[in-house]
Amino acid sequence: MTAQLINGTALSQKIRSEVAARAAALTAKGVQPGLAVILVGEDPASSVYVRNKVKACAEAGLHSVLERYDADLTEAALLERIQALNSNPSIHGILVQMPLPRHINPQRVIETISTAKDVDGYSVQSAGDLMSGLPGFLPCTPYGCMKLIESTCVDLRGKHAVVIGRSNTVGKPMALLLLQANATVTVCHSATVDLKSHTRQADVIVAAVGRRDVLTADMVKPGAVVIDVGMNRNDEGKLCGDVDFEGVKQVAGWITPVPGGVGPMTIAMLLVNTLASAERTLP
Ligand code: NAP
């Protein structure tokens, strides 16, 4: 059996054009959705991520502001900038690119962003809303993974989902979203004994570890949906995920590639969150 490919690039383009149409309608009513992106320091990967986010905004008709600061920016100065953006009515979403330089406390920064503009969904309030099933901003990567799973038309009700990884930004919110969709959820992590015994039972597997070949063909039940969040480099220096794609695609029913799977969806969902934030400001 060869798995069907879940094409994150195509799905993200569809979502982005829907965002563009809604953004145009909102702009016509006098509210152009606006995103502020803050980058502190010169991390090359972060520079690429923020550039892509700003470009995606422009393509969808969103207004965006990119604020770049030297790595020696003080925490107090950063918090002051965030507070200014919190009270700027043309900005509906604020994103501070992680990681931050070591002298800046990331949680303090996240908690300074107004809950109404927390389009990354990283704040304690957003996490609490998700846990309680209240409306709020969903973290973009797990939100995008749910859209990818939805696109397969596999009904999650009663299915066994295994999430590998338990970070606050990916693994934990992913598990909560799968639970909300009525899956039975197992969360695995670095202390999990016999990972394979869990993944072999899974109808849906989300791998969010950051290590190549965490999931190989022998660990997958035939027909399973496999979502690969990981971003790693292979021996040739090319981008690859956590999943042994060539092996697992022979067993799985559905699989996301890397690149072209979860990555583009993360940016698309950031646009969705920013648009939703702007729409909420309408009377
Ligand atoms: P993270 O904070 O480092 O978390 C990694 C998780 O994997 C931890 O919970 C860790 O367990 C677990 N883990 C480590 N080794 C394991 C093993 N051998 N077996 C099972 N679990 C293991 O990373 P993250 O921020 O969640 O990101 C995960 C990956 O996704 C990274 O490659 C990242 O670059 C990628 N990512 C991609 C996107 C995208 O848009 N495509 C977005 C976000 C992240 P412990 O908790 O026990 O340490």
pLDDT digits (tens, 9 = 90+) for 26-39: 999 999 999 999 99
Q: Could you tell which of 170, 172, 192, 269 is best to mutate to test the pocket of ligand 1, judged by most ligand atoms within 8 Å of the CB?
A: 170
Paired with 149 in beta bridges are none
Pick the catalytic residue from 4, 13, 43, 53: 53
For atom 6 of ligand 1, which residue has the closest CA? 165
Sign of the C-alpha dihedral computed for residues 150, 151, 153 and 158 taken in this order: negative
Over range 130-135, report the average pLDDT. Answer: 97
For atom 14 of ligand 1, which residue has the closest CA? 190
> Taking Cα atoms as reference points, which of 185, 187, 186, 182 lies closest to residue 133?
182
Q: Which pLDDT score, from 0 to 100, does residue 283 have?
A: 82
Over range 107-117, report the average pLDDT. Answer: 98
- The helix (run of H) or strand (run of E) holding residue 226 is strand 225-228
Over range 114-130, report the average pLDDT. Answer: 98
- The secondary structure of 158-199, three-state, reads CCEEEEECCCCCCHHHHHHHHHHCCCEEEEECCCCCCHHHHH
Check if 107 is active-site.
Answer: no
Over range 112-127, report the average pLDDT. Answer: 98
- pLDDT higher than threshold 90 for residue 191: yes
Over range 103-107, report the average pLDDT. Answer: 98
- pTM score, whole prediction: 0.98
Of the ranges 43-47, 217-221, 254-258, which one carries the lowest mean pLDDT score?
43-47
Nearest-atom number in ligand 1 for the CA of 171 is: 26
Domains of the chain: 31-116 (3.40.50.10860), 140-263 (3.40.50.720)
> What span, in angstroms and rounded, lies between the C-alpha atoms of 274 and 233?
31
Annotated binding site for NADP(+): 165-167
Average pLDDT, the chain: 97
Cβ–ligand 1 distance for 191 under 6 Å, the answer yes
CB burial string 121-137: b at 16+ within 10 A, e below: bbbebbbebbeeeeebb
Over range 241-264, report the average pLDDT. Answer: 98
Paired with 52 in beta bridges are none
Check if 244 is active-site.
Answer: no
Over range 201-230, report the average pLDDT. Answer: 98
Cβ–ligand 1 distance for 262 under 6 Å, the answer yes
Q: Which pLDDT score, from 0 to 100, does residue 65 have?
A: 97
Over range 188-210, report the average pLDDT. Answer: 98
pLDDT band, residue 135 (cuts 50/70/90): very high
For atom 21 of ligand 1, which residue has the closest CA? 189
For atom 35 of ligand 1, which residue has the closest CA? 230
Is 113 within 8 Å of 83 (Cβ atoms)?
Answer: no
> What span, in angstroms and rounded, lies between the C-alpha atoms of 270 and 102?
25
> Taking Cα atoms as reference points, which of 186, 192, 157 lies closest to residue 171?
186
Q: Which pLDDT score, from 0 to 100, does residue 246 have?
A: 97
Q: Which pLDDT score, from 0 to 100, does residue 1 have?
A: 66
Annotated binding site: 165-167
